[in-house]
Amino acid sequence: MKTLLLIRHAEAESAYFGVDDRRRELTQEGFTQAVHLGKKIASGNFQPEVMFYSDAVRTTVTTQLILEQLDMPQEAIFVEPSFYEANVGRLLDFINQRADQADSLAIVGHNPAISFLAEYLTGDVIGNLSPADAVVITFDLESWELVSQATGSLLTRL
């Protein structure tokens, strides 16, 4: 059995002219959202063995705030620059290439890809994940390589 935690970054500043989109910071509300989500993950027994996150400031800070609530070793946390503009296909390829030693993993990324991926993997209508929204998807599979369209079941939305 494999478990995937898909997380959308917390609320970020609005985009404005002259600022690199990757450098957008979290709002004050975003900080609160990320800490709250970290607490929900910790209390719900959904702590992943491995976590990957986009290199954008808003996903990096979201990840750091979530990790403050979890007990994960630093060597299980990885930045993944390809997540910044990833589509469903790129994220699925990434998942399919994960080592099977880890039965649970988390991805902290961006919409619309995170929401689309959740729907693709479950076959459910999940809709748009709000900032600091997360879904837990389980797969009755022994290998990440077998994860594909509608192979997962939505366990919960955090």
Asked if pLDDT for residue 19 goes beyond 80, the answer is no
How far apart CA 128 and CA 17 sit, in angstroms, is: 26
Short-list 107, 108, 110, 158, CA closest to 134:
158
Give 97's DSSP letter: T
Structure-block tokens of residue 26: 């979290």
Asked if the bond preceding 112 is cis, omega within 30° of 0, the reply is: yes
In this prediction, residue 156 carries a pLDDT of: 87
Please name the residue that has the structure tokens 């900080």: 31
Q: Are 11 and 131 in contact (CB under 8 A)?
A: yes
Q: Are 2 and 103 in contact (CB under 8 A)?
A: yes
Higher pLDDT, 20 or 139: 139
Short-list 123, 129, 126, CA closest to 151:
123
**Percentage, residues of the chain above pLDDT 70:** 98
Report the mean per-residue pLDDT for the chain. Answer: 93
The stretch 123-152 carries a mean pLDDT of: 96
Quick: pLDDT tens for 32-87.
999 999 999 999 878 899 999 999 999 999 999 999 999 899 999 999 999 999 99
